[in-house]
Amino acid sequence: MLKCVDAARLSPSAANLQPLKYIIINDPKLLKKVFSTLSWAGYLSDYQPSEGEMPRAYIIILVDEKISRTPNHDTGIAVMSISMVAHDEGLGSCILGAVNREKLREILKVPEDLAIALVVALGYPAENPVVDTAKAGDIKYWLDENGVLHVPKRHLKDVAKWNSYQNQ
């Protein structure tokens, strides 16, 4: 976990302000409390991780608002750095923005001048998602009859252009 946070700490930061701070959660009692503040898989209405799929750790990303009130770029870079290092270490990650921030703030005793930006759940992957080509803008992920997760992605030709944005 510390290796993940160190990668985030060393990542680029707008104007090098470095407004992010991190809380690493690995205490089993706190894991369950943090879990209760999170909403999972918004497109899968009946989905809730099973006991065996529950995260083994969390990294809470905080923004020190005394340093910066517009840290969106930094937060995105940090979660990607955390996710990449976790992957290299054999861990899966899930970036969560659907968080009951007030409840989480209370559980973790987060001061008011630190905004809770995102939560990164870490654990051992329970699935091997299949990447599908999105059809007509439908980007909702789904489970097939065998419980395999399908994640539609826009086609590369629809998102990448050469030298100008004109259709090619």
89 and 35 share one domain? yes
Question: pLDDT tens digit string along 55-99?
Answer: 999 999 999 989 986 668 899 999 999 999 999 999 999 999 999
pTM equals 0.89
Print the domain residue range for 161.
127-168
Three-class secondary structure of residue 164 per DSSP: coil
Same domain as 17, residue 50: yes
Joined together, the tokens standing for residue 22 give 């991190």
- Tell me: do 88 and 14 sit in the same domain: yes
Number of independent structural domains in the chain? 2
CA distances, 81 to each of 100, 120, 132 (Å): 24, 11, 25
Q: What is the pLDDT of residue 71?
A: 65
Do both 101 and 137 map to the same domain?
Answer: no
Burial class (CB in 10 A: 0-12, 13-18, 19+), 68: middle
**Is 86 found in the same domain as 45?**
yes
89 and 151 together in one domain:
no
Structure tokens at 75: 């937060």
Q: Are both 9 and 48 inside the same structural domain?
A: yes
Give Cβ neighbours of residue 73 (< 8 Å, ≥ 6 apart).
14
Residues 106, 133 within the same domain: no
- What CATH code is carried by the domain that includes residue 155? 2.20.180.10
Sign of the C-alpha dihedral, residues 12, 16, 20, 24?
positive
Q: Averaged over 14-18, what is the pLDDT? A: 92
pLDDT tens for 104-144 read 999 999 999 999 999 999 999 877 889 988 888 788 988 88
Please tell me the number of Cα atoms within 13 Å of 17 on its side-chain side.
Answer: 17
- In terms of domains, do 16 and 69 share one? yes
Cα end-to-end span (Å), the chain: 44
DSSP per-residue letters across 70-84: --HHHHHHHHHHHHH
Question: Can you list the alpha helix ranges (DSSP code H) found in the chain?
Answer: 2-9, 28-35, 72-88, 101-108, 156-159
Does 133 lie in the same domain as 163? yes
